[in-house]
Amino acid sequence: MRAGHSKRVTPPGPLVIIGGHEHKRRDREILERFARLCGGRGAAVAVLGVASERPRAVEEAYRPALEDLGLRVAFLELADRPAAQDEAAARRVEEADGLFFTGGDQLRITSLLGGTRVDAAVRARWQAGAPLAGTSAGASALSSTMIVGGDGDATPARNTIEMAPGLGLLPNSVIDQHFAQRGRIGRLLSALAQNPAVLGIGVDEDTAFIVGADGVCEVAGSRTVTVLDGTQVSATNASELGGDEALAVTDMRLHVLPAGWRFDLHRRRPLPPERAGRS
- Which of 140, 143, 173, 205 is catalytic? The answer is 205
Q: Kindly report the number of other CB atoms within 10 A of residue 259's CB atom.
A: 16
Active site residue 136: yes
Active site residue 205: yes
Judging by DSSP bridges, how do beta strands 216-221 and 262-264 pair with one another?
antiparallel
| Cα gap 249→160, rounded to integer Å | 14
Q: Kindly report the number of other CB atoms within 10 A of residue 5's CB atom.
A: 7
Active site residue 255: no
Alpha helices in 114-236 (DSSP H): 117-127, 137-140, 185-194
- Which of 136, 140, 143, 190 is catalytic? The answer is 136
- Which of 52, 140, 173, 178 is catalytic? The answer is 178
Q: Are 140 and 175 in contact (CB under 8 A)?
A: yes
Q: Are 189 and 174 in contact (CB under 8 A)?
A: no
Cβ-in-10-Å burial (0-12, 13-18, 19+) of 10 comes to exposed
Question: Which DSSP letter does residue 270 get?
Answer: E
Question: Which one-letter amino acid corresponds to residue 188?
Answer: L
- The tally of CA atoms less than 13 A away on the side-chain side of residue 102 is 26
Which residues participate in catalysis according to the annotation?
136, 178, 205
